[in-house]
């Protein structure tokens, strides 16, 4: 990773922070993202002390599409090359206090769909020219085994809301987007893959849901770094991994019509 630039969203805590430190130790320049400026600057200083490729921190709230767009513009202005985009930022099925009520983003979208999926879609679309010009490059979407088909008649879950359903729908949407990207980017030197890093890692997201952790953050970070950097995956795209093992995602991910519907809806909602 020496001489490479890696952008990891949601990298001031938990899995994202662990991935950032592993890539920084391998020599990469890290673009750190998060909402908390204090944590972000602390991580930037920690990475700078490693004497690798250094780091820059950007604060942005990914519930807002305007904030995502502004973040993408700032990153593209400061970095002419990005070799690795890891879309890791996200929220779980509950709020930080464990609440399970339906929430809306500043744009009026169901919050989990906005933060976990629409921000990924918009950021990736905005940075695609930089990634293509930096080829070979990789896009890694941190998804989940918790996958629920997107109901296009009720995407914002105005009916029958359930936090687990909202989370699962947003994570499967990421995988549909991954497969779509892999087809779009054929021959351009940029691959797109998705993964479930580990089950119930010891993170704030898992603890706020009242779930006992089953995996370590380090285990999940190792899986993300594998998909992001392994030479065995050179040129391989459109795949879904459970940890480091390739597997099939929910059938909707391979439905061309569903992917088309999601693509058109995403462009409309994000104005990408």
- Closest CA relative to residue 196, chosen from 90, 111, 113, 64: 90
Catalytic residue among 167, 200, 226, 254: 167
Contacts of 49 (CB under 8 A, 6+ apart): none
In sequence order, which residues have a C-beta less than 8 Å from that of residue 125 and are 6 or more positions away? 270, 272
- The pLDDT, as a whole number, for residue 207 is 55
Task: Judge contact between 223 and 207, C-beta under 8 A.
Answer: no
If we measure between CA atoms, which residue out of 236, 136, 256 comes closest to residue 194?
236
Q: Which residues pair with 55 in a beta bridge?
A: 30
Distance CA 263, CA 73 (A): 22
Query: Does the annotation count 167 as an active-site position?
Result: yes
Q: Which residues contact 205 (CB under 8 A, 6 or more apart)?
A: 14, 90, 91, 92
Mean pLDDT, 10 residues at a time, over the chain (272 residues)?
Answer: 96 96 97 97 96 94 98 98 98 81 96 98 98 98 97 97 96 98 98 91 62 80 98 98 98 98 98 89
What pLDDT score does 272 carry?
84
Closest CA to 272 of 95, 81, 99, 129: 129
**CA 198 – CA 260 distance, rounded (Å):** 29
* pLDDT given for residue 94 in this prediction: 83
HSE of 154, CA atoms in CB hemisphere, 13 A: 11
Fill in the DSSP letter of residue 69. H
Size of the chain in residues: 272
> SS3 of 140, please?
strand
The per-residue pLDDT for 61 is: 97
Write the DSSP string, 23-40.
HHHTT-EEEEEES-HHHH
pLDDT at 89: 97
Q: What pLDDT does residue 208 have?
A: 59
| Spatial contact of 36 and 11, defined as CB atoms under 8 Å apart | no
């Amino acid at each position: 990773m020496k001489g490479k630039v890696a952008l990891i969203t949601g990298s001031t805590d938990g899995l994202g922070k662990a991935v950032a430190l592993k890539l920084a130790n391998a020599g990469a320049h890290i673009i750190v993202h998060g909402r908390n400026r204090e944590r972000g600057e602390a991580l930037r200083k920690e990475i700078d002390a490693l004497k690798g490729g250094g780091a820059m921190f950007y604060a942005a709230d990914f519930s807002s599409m305007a904030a995502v767009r502004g973040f993408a513009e700032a990153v593209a202005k400061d970095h002419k090359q990005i070799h690795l985009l890891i879309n890791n930022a996200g929220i779980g099925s509950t709020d930080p206090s464990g609440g399970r009520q339906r929430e809306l983003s500043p744009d009026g979208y169901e919050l989990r769909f906005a933060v976990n999926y629409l921000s990924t879609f918009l950021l990736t679309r905005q940075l695609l020219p930089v990634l293509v010009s930096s080829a070979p490059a990789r896009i890694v979407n941190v998804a989940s085994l918790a996958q629920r088909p997107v109901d296009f008649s009720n995407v914002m879950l105005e009916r029958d809301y359930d936090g687990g359903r909202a989370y699962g729908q947003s994570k499967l949407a990421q995988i549909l987007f991954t497969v779509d990207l892999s087809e779009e980017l054929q021959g351009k030197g940029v691959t797109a893959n998705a993964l479930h890093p580990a089950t119930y890692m010891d993170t704030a997201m898992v603890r706020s849901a009242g779930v006992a952790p089953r995996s370590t953050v380090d285990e999940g970070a190792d899986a993300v770094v594998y998909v992001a950097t392994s030479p065995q995956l050179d040129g391989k795209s459109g795949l879904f991994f459970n940890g480091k093992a390739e597997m099939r995602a929910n059938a909707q991910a391979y439905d061309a019509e569903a992917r088309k519907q999601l693509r058109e809806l995403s462009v409309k909602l994000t104005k990408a």
